[in-house]
Amino acid sequence: MATLEQIRDFLSLKRIAVVGVSRNPKDFTRSLFREFVRRGYDVVPVNPGVCQLEGRPCYARLSDVDPPVEAALLLTAPAVTDSVVRDCADAGVPRVWMYRGAGAGAVSRQAVCFCESRGMSVVAGECPFMFFRDVGLPHQWHAKIRRWRGRYPR
């Protein structure tokens, strides 16, 4: 489980890649992407099938991003996450957040082990919306339920 310190460290950064953001403007990944933009982050979309998202150039791989990012939020399927974390390591990205709202999300045990073996900081699971201030009621309730169940990061 990730710690609050790791989460706060990740969210304190300003240049973050969002890997796996959808080309569908109504997809949840786009909502999360927009929220980072709204909060003043320099967000870099990464999706090999798209040239531009939300008016920003979109990159096929993290290693293509210049200037480099400080962290990567992965919104990928677990099987894809395994290769993306290798790209993170090759690109020198020291912090990775594997998104999870429900189900497995982007989390892959193999990818977590890979990151840890490389000394990368990993938030394995969690939804960033739970840790933003002034978010909508569903995200506030999600955090409260996690606290009540003892599953909220400490």
Q: How far apart are CA 52 and CA 129, in angstroms?
A: 24
| Model pLDDT, residue 126 | 84
How do residues 59-106 score in pLDDT, each as one tens digit? 999 999 999 999 999 999 999 999 999 999 999 999 999 998 666 688
Higher local confidence (pLDDT), 67 or 148 = 67
Residue 133: predicted pLDDT? 75
Alpha-carbon distance 25 to 3, whole Å?
31
**How many residues would you count in the chain?**
154
Percent of the chain topping pLDDT 90 = 71
- Residues 6-33, mean pLDDT to the nearest whole number: 94
The model's pLDDT over 22-40, given as tens digits with 9 standing for 90+, comes to 999 999 899 999 999 999 9
Confidence band of 145 (pLDDT split at 50, 70, 90): low
What percent of the chain stands above pLDDT 70? 86
- Is 46 within 8 Å of 61 (Cβ atoms)? yes
Domains of the chain: 4-148 (3.40.50.720)
What stretches of 65-133 show up as alpha helix (H) in DSSP?
A: 78-91, 109-117
CA distance 27 to 67: 27
What is the pTM (predicted TM-score) of this model?
0.90
CB atoms within 10 A of CB 129: 19
Q: Does pLDDT of 143 surpass 60?
A: no
User: Residue 47 — very low, low, confident or very high, per pLDDT cuts 50/70/90?
Assistant: very high
- Tell me how crowded residue 116 is: count the other CB atoms within 10 A of its CB: 12
Position 4 pLDDT exceeds 70: yes
pLDDT for 54 equals 93
Mean pLDDT of the chain: 89
Give the span between the Cα atoms of 3 and 117, in whole angstroms: 18
d(Cα 142, Cα 115) in Å, to the nearest integer?
27
